[in-house]
Amino acid sequence: LSASPLVETAVLFGDRKPYIVALMVPNFEALDAWAKQRGLPAADRAALLERPEVAAAYQDVVDGVNANLARFETIKKFHLVVEPFTISGGQLTPTLKVKRRVIEQRFASLLAAMYEEGSPATSPER
């Protein structure tokens, strides 16, 4: 996922769960350029992430990754996170490695909701 120009950071979860889900921080510089090309307003990042066109673009990224994976390895749902993961926020180490436990705790309710029956496949963080 992180190889896509639209994705800054992606963290996958799924250990001891029925399927894999992803939290993705968009590369807002690339996303803003993408939105501008399509005439979409990009001033409000949270509002931009709520647009169906943006969800579809990130679904295309996920579908591209899933195409090369076995069915049980595929990402079933994802969520776009408005705020980037940072060292000062505690989500990254000083060497810029993702602190999975910190992110899992911070987004525990969201991750739980992603495993509920009928929850939306994508939604921006509020």
Q: Per-residue pLDDT tens for 79-107?
A: 999 999 999 999 999 999 999 999 999 99
Cα gap 82→16, rounded to integer Å = 27
Under DSSP, the state recorded for 71 is G
Under DSSP, the state recorded for 82 is S
Model confidence, pTM: 0.86
Cα 5–chain centre separation: 13
Cα gap 20→15, rounded to integer Å = 8
Cβ-in-10-Å burial (0-12, 13-18, 19+) of 95 comes to exposed
Q: Per-residue pLDDT tens for 30-46?
A: 999 999 999 998 789 99
